[in-house]
Structure 1
Amino acid sequence: MSSTENAVLPSNGETKSGRKPVRIWVDGCFDMMHFGHANALRQAKQFGDFLVVGVHSDAEITHHKGPTVMTEQERYAAVAACKWVDLVVPDAPYLTSLEVMDKYDCDFCVHGDDITTLADGTDCYQLVKDAGRYRECKRTQGVSTTELVGRMLLMSREHLRTRPGSATRNAQNLENFSGGGATASHFLPTTRRLGQFADGREPKAGDKVVYVDGGFDLFHVGHIEFLKKAKALGDYLLVGVHDDQVVNTIKGSNYPIMNLHERVLSVLSCRYVDEVIIGAPYSVTKDVLEKVYNVHVVVHGSTAIDSDTDGQDPYKLPKELGIYKAVESPQETLTTDTIVDRIIAHRTLYEARNRRKAEKAAIEAAMEAEAKRKK
């Protein structure tokens, strides 16, 4: 189980093989934490035994990068819920220092194969690179916080509309806020990626299987806290993630912001989740309750339940069977809608941030090309 800095640090006892555990340091913003962040943490954990993750404060990020979407407390909690993370260090410095790594007894630092710079253009990882305590992992292509913010900004400009000419308009709108060059997602799901995120653990004999379902769009702390409460009601948590068409039919507008496979990977990265039904039906059916595993309890939060397209309560069957349970949603005020509202309410700030990000990315790309040329 992961923890934040105010918890007691675990001892450096030996591994099963008798050697000292290798401790890894990773740091970052983790704003609107998505499956790309989770994949970086998964890869980093493979370098050693214990993963320590430093998360920057709102003030640090604002100074070096621009305003955050999620608060620092929301970001700390989101990182702590990732199943590959062992310890979260709040308020980590933006410039990765050997002193902080030594404080947490980390052997080396892992970062993606892209260059990250401070506000003055300095490489954030130069100190650890010079000390020979730096390793690289592959950045996940097709997703970024900047790109997700872009999708939300476009929602007020007929985002994802399928009328003639909409694709051209949307590309132009993306170019307008990103500072040049459309940045639409090109994430392509594979069975290998799904396998990397899935544990493959089956419920043991006698395990109580809990089922929850939802869209889980822009996977956030509200989702995480709900899943934690649901898992506490049994031994094995099965999560149904609705497909894009179902989410759009029920929620309307231009939802979902993230596609089905992006949402599935985000859910799978959560430490409370054991298995996912990809494209689960909106109404809980007999097949859902029996054909994957025998479900003992179906859980829903305290938020309003939207009727299915036929006007029926989607939880009609589990209620009739006496296996339905409503739980209080711990973060009821934090929803996908409220995250979108944050973006729209501060549209000018985020458009400016994305333009600065594009300019900074161009500089970082030039630095990266120069570094590769010198190798």
Structure 2
Amino acid sequence: MVHFGHANALRQAKALGDYLVVGVHTDEEIAKHKGPPVFTEQERYKMIRAIKWVDEVVEGAPYVTTLETLDKYNCDFCVHGDDITTTADGIDTYHLVKAAGRYKEVERTRGVSTTDMVGRMLLMTREHFKRGQADLGLDHSATIPFTACSQFLPTSRKIVQFSEGKEPRPGDKVVYVAGAFDLLHVGHLDFLEAAKAEGDFLIVGLHTDPTVNRYKGANYPIMNLHERVLSVLACKYVNEVVIGAPYAVTKELMGHFNVDIVCHGKTPIMPDTDGSDPYALPKSLDRFKCVSSNNRMTTERIVDRIIQHR
């Protein structure tokens, strides 16, 4: 998996120097030492390259980091989180660089891990989690997140650390997209890249958890709103995020952010609660465009991969 916890580690690593090189292991190496990977190596290379603090990706990096590897890519030191990783034989994967004094540690993001994410997806496969809102006696206007199993505690400081904090420049063409962006994956990245290509400044509206649950059902979203905010903010194509964006694109929203064009992917658009088209306004203004990611990856496919390897 690649999630905002990884992005936060890379953000901290970049802050320790000037140029960040990220080594990504092959599927074979991960399967040997950790278990079957959720994303393929090609997908993981693409996802790491899309994180805004990353300058270079080394494909197929060795599982045990050596001094030769650091020297080959002109790296002064190696960085890892404060959670220890070992090989299948129980050896510290960073023992060589630690002994040479070329190792630095950053704090892991508490409340999130790949194991945690996998656990949330497996919960979805249990039938009693698939009942609808009516069966659970929940009010449709409820504001509780459906991802109650999340242990992540968001803070304003964390959002500021991930945010660019920049306004569009005069003359910039502002693009707006909205959605769940749950378990950010290569399909999302390709869509965001295509949307960004339609202008200069990309704003992503993220729907609340109850809104996402209304149009996706089951136990979605897997990641709560705050987790999805950090995941999207870490993407290099994204300039700004609207936290808890309205489902319908309104005149107020377009005016407030000076939106020039609203984009949506090829996925079906569910009507609003009153049956109306949530994109009716930008369509009537001829400021709506359907863009294709040319990628068939979906959050559901990721869940299916987890189930297959459970």
- 1:54 match: secondary structure: strand
Is the CA contact (8 Å cut-off) linking 1:143 and 1:187 kept in structure 2? Answer: yes
Matched, 1:154 2:154: no
Q: 1:276 aligns with which of 216, 241, 245?
A: 241
Instruction: Measure the CA separation in 2 of the matches of 1:345 and 1:62.
Output: 15
**What one-letter code is carried by the residue in structure 2 that aligns with 1:83?**
K
> How far has the Cα of 1:96 moved from its partner?
0.7
Name the counterpart of 1:201: 166
CA-to-partner distance for each residue in 1:307-331, whole Å, 9 max, x for gaps? 2222211111100011001111221
Residue correspondence of structure 1 range 203-242 to structure 2 within 5 A:
203-242=168-207
1:79 to 2:78 alignment = no
**Shift of residue 346, structure 1, vs aligned partner:** 2.8
**Residue 299 of structure 2: which of 323, 332, 336 is its match?**
336
Equivalent residue letter for 1:38: A
Measure, in 2, the Cα distance between the counterparts of 1:282 and 1:37: 29
TM-score normalised over the length of structure 2: 0.93
Shift of 1:159: 3.6
1:197-216: CA deviations, max 9, x gaps?
00001001111000000000
Alignment partners' CA distance in 1, 2:221 and 2:248: 18
Checking the alignment, whether the CA contact within 8 Å between 1:237 and 1:275 is kept in structure 2 is: yes
What is the rounded CA distance, in whole Å, between the counterparts of 1:115 and 1:346 in structure 2? 24
Q: Which residue type is aligned with residue 198 of structure 2?
A: L
CA offset digits 1:276-310 (Å, max 9, x no partner): 0000011111121012x110000011122222222
Is the 1:44–1:110 Cα contact (8 Å) retained in structure 2?
yes
Aligned to 2:6: 37
Other structure's SS at 1:140 match:
coil
- Please report how far the alpha carbon of residue 221 of structure 1 lies from its aligned counterpart in structure 2 after TM superposition: 0.8
Partner of 2:139: none
SS in 1 for 2:125: helix
Q: Does 1:144 align with 2:113?
A: yes
User: CA separation in 1, counterparts of 2:129 and 2:163?
Assistant: 31
Work out the percentage of aligned pairs sharing the same amino acid. 65
Q: 2:279 aligns with which of 308, 315, 319?
A: 315
Count residues with an aligned counterpart: 295
Q: Which of 259, 262, 273 in structure 2 is aligned with 1:295?
A: 259
**Counterparts of 1:132 and 1:185, CA distance in 2:** 37
1 CA distance for matches of 2:309 and 2:12?
A: 34
TM-score, normalisation: structure 1: 0.77
Question: Structure 2: which amino acid aligns with 1:305?
Answer: I
Question: Deviations along 1:169-228, whole A, 9 cap, x unmatched?
Answer: xxxxxxxxxxxxxxx532100000000000001001111000000000000111011001
In structure 2, what is the equivalent of residue 353 of structure 1? none
- Residue 22 of structure 2 is aligned with which of 53, 57, 63? 53
Out of 197, 215, 226, the position equivalent to 1:261 is: 226
Partner-residue secondary structure (3-state), 1:50:
coil
Q: Equivalent residue for 1:19? A: none
Q: Contact 1:238 / 1:275 at 8 angstroms: preserved in 2?
A: yes
Does the CA-based 8 Å contact 2:36-2:309 persist in structure 1? no
The letter of the residue matching 2:87 is: L
Kept in 1: contact 2:77–2:102 (CA 8 A): yes
Partner amino acid for 2:267? T
Q: Deviations over 1:238-261 (max 9, x none)?
A: 110001010001111110000000
Q: What code does the residue aligned with 2:174 have? A: V
- For residue 195 of structure 2, give the secondary structure of its aligned residue in structure 1: helix
- Structure 1: give runs of 5+ residues left out of the alignment: 1-31, 165-183, 348-375
Please state whether the residue corresponding to 1:156 is helix, strand or coil.
Answer: coil
Retained in 2: the 8 A contact 1:250–1:308?
no
Counterpart of 2:122 in structure 1: which amino acid?
L
Q: In 2, distance between residues paired with 1:251 and 1:151?
A: 16
Could you say what the CA RMSD is over the residues aligned between the two structures, in angstroms? 1.4
Q: Which residue of 1 aligns with 2:268?
A: 304
In structure 1, distance between residues paired with 2:78 and 2:308: 37
**1:345 and 2:308 correspond:** yes
**Aligned-partner Cα distance in 2 for 1:250–1:305:** 9
